[in-house]
Amino acid sequence: MSDMSIFTDKEIQPSDALLQQGLGSGFIYWKKVEELVMEKYPEGKGTWNFSGKKFGWSYQIKDKKRALIYLLPRRGYFKVALVFGEKAFQEILNSTVSQQIKAELSTAPKYAEGRGIRIDVRDEQLLGDIGQLIAIKIAH
C-alpha cells in the first residue's frame, strides 16, 4: 500500500522529531501549513488520530465542531486533505486557486459533507493555494 501514513504503529503517536525524520525537507512545509491554519483560526486544535493499521496516523486541525484540514504524512512529503460544502466549492471556482485544484474538486464525488480533495505537498509551490483554501473553508 503506497498511499498510507508513514506512521502505522498505534502505540507510537508521532512527535515532531519523528515527523521531521519521516518528512525530511517536507517538515518545514508541514509547519507552514499548520501556521497558515492557526493564523486564520487561532482557536484551532490540532490532534493526531489513528485510523487503523491500514491507514495509520493522521493529523487534523479542528474548529469547535468540524475538521478544518487533515495532514497525512508520507515518506518525504505529506498530503493536505480538505472537504468543502457547496457554497465553499462555488467560492473556490471563483477564486484565484489553480485550475488544477478547481478541476480536481469539480470532478470529485459529491457527498453529504461535500467534495474532498487531497493535495500532495512536496515544496512551497502550492502553499498560496492551500492558504486560500483554508480561508474559504473557515469562512464556510
- For 30, the enclosing helix (H) or strand (E) is helix 27-40
- Of the candidates 22, 27, 24, which has an alpha carbon nearest to the alpha carbon of residue 12? 22
Computed on alpha carbons and rounded to an integer, the radius of gyration of the chain in Å comes to 15
Q: Judge whether residue 2 has pLDDT over 70.
A: no
Cβ neighbour number for residue 80 with a 10 Å cutoff: 24
Residue-range domain boundaries for the chain: 16-139
Per-residue pLDDT, averaged over 98-120, amounts to 95
Q: Which CATH architecture has domain 16-139?
A: Alpha-Beta Complex (3.90)
SS (H, E, C) 69-111: EEEEEECCEEEEEEEECHHHHHHHHCCCCCHHHHHHHHHCCEE
pLDDT digits (tens, 9 = 90+) for 21-69: 999 999 999 999 999 999 999 999 999 999 988 889 999 999 988 999 9
